[in-house]
Amino acid sequence: MQPTQSHADNRNSIMAMVMAGGQGSRLRPLTDKRSKPAVPFGSRYRIIDFVLSNLVNSGISTIYLLVQYKSQSLIEHVRKAWTISPLFPDQFVTVVPPQMLNGKTWFTGTADAVAQNLELIESHHPDLVLVFGADHVYRMDVGRMIEHHLEHDADVTVAALPVAREESSSFGVIVADSDGRVRGFEEKPAQGTPIPDDPSRVYASMGNYVFRAGCLVRALRDAQRNGETDFGSHVLPRMLAGSRVFAYDFADNRVPGVKSYEEQAYWRDVGTIDAYYAAHQDVLGAQPILDLFNPRWPVFSSNYQGPVARVMDSEIDNSLLGAATLVEGARVCNSIVRREAVIEEGAEIEDSIIMDYARVSKGARLRRVIVDRHNLIERETSIGWDLEQDRASLPVTDSGIVVVPRGRTPFFARGPRGGGGGYSD
Helix (H) or strand (E) run with residue 159 in it? strand 156-164
What's the pLDDT band for 420 if we cut at 50, 70, 90? very low
Give the range of the structural domain holding residue 406, as residue numbers without chain letter. 310-414
**Is residue 330 included in any domain, yes or no?**
yes
**Is residue 419 included in any domain, yes or no?**
no
At which of 244, 269, 294 does a domain end? 269
Could you tell me if 19 and 159 lie in one domain? yes
What's the pLDDT band for 303 if we cut at 50, 70, 90? confident
Do the strands 320-321 and 336-337 form a parallel or antiparallel pair, or are they unpaired?
parallel
**Is residue 82 included in any domain, yes or no?**
yes
362-411 confidence digits (pLDDT tens):
999 999 999 999 999 999 999 999 999 999 999 999 999 999 998 854 44
**Is residue 22 included in any domain, yes or no?**
yes
At which of 249, 269, 289 does a domain end? 269
Using the predicted structure, report yes or no on whether residue 412 has a pLDDT greater than 50.
no
Residue 205 annotated as part of some ligand binding site: yes
Could you tell me if 138 and 259 lie in one domain? yes
**CA nearest 343: which of 369, 263, 273?**
369
**Is residue 322 included in any domain, yes or no?**
yes
**Is residue 40 included in any domain, yes or no?**
yes
Check: CB of residue 325 under 8 Å from CB of residue 338: yes
Helix (H) or strand (E) run with residue 310 in it? strand 310-312
Could you tell me if 204 and 316 lie in one domain? no
Q: Average model confidence (pLDDT) for the chain? A: 88
Could you tell me if 263 and 341 lie in one domain? no
At which of 205, 238, 269 does a domain end? 269
Given this model, what pLDDT does residue 228 score?
A: 79
Per the structure, how many domains does the chain have?
Answer: 2
Using the predicted structure, report yes or no on whether residue 177 has a pLDDT greater than 70.
yes
Could you tell me if 265 and 402 lie in one domain? no
98-117 confidence digits (pLDDT tens):
665 555 566 667 888 888 88
Given this model, what pLDDT does residue 302 score?
A: 86
Could you tell me if 325 and 410 lie in one domain? yes
* Mean pLDDT lowest among 69-83, 179-193, 260-274, 348-362: 69-83
What's the pLDDT band for 414 if we cut at 50, 70, 90? very low
Name beta bridge partners: 327.
311, 343
Could you tell me if 238 and 383 lie in one domain? no
**Is residue 1 included in any domain, yes or no?**
no
Could you tell me if 94 and 243 lie in one domain? yes
37-67 confidence digits (pLDDT tens):
989 999 999 999 999 999 999 999 899 999 8
Do the strands 326-328 and 342-343 form a parallel or antiparallel pair, or are they unpaired?
parallel
> What is the 3 state secondary structure string of 261-291?
CCCCCCEEECCCHHHHHHHHHCCCCCCCCCC
> What is the domain-level CATH number for residue 347?
2.160.10.10
Check: CB of residue 108 under 8 Å from CB of residue 224: no
Using the predicted structure, report yes or no on whether residue 123 has a pLDDT greater than 80.
yes
> What is the domain-level CATH number for residue 157?
3.90.550.10
Check: CB of residue 216 under 8 Å from CB of residue 159: no
Residues 6+ apart with CB under 8 A from 346: 329, 330, 362, 363
**Is residue 149 included in any domain, yes or no?**
yes
Could you tell me if 51 and 119 lie in one domain? yes
Residue 85 annotated as part of some ligand binding site: no
Could you tell me if 184 and 263 lie in one domain? yes
Residue 188 annotated as part of some ligand binding site: yes
Residue 378 annotated as part of some ligand binding site: no
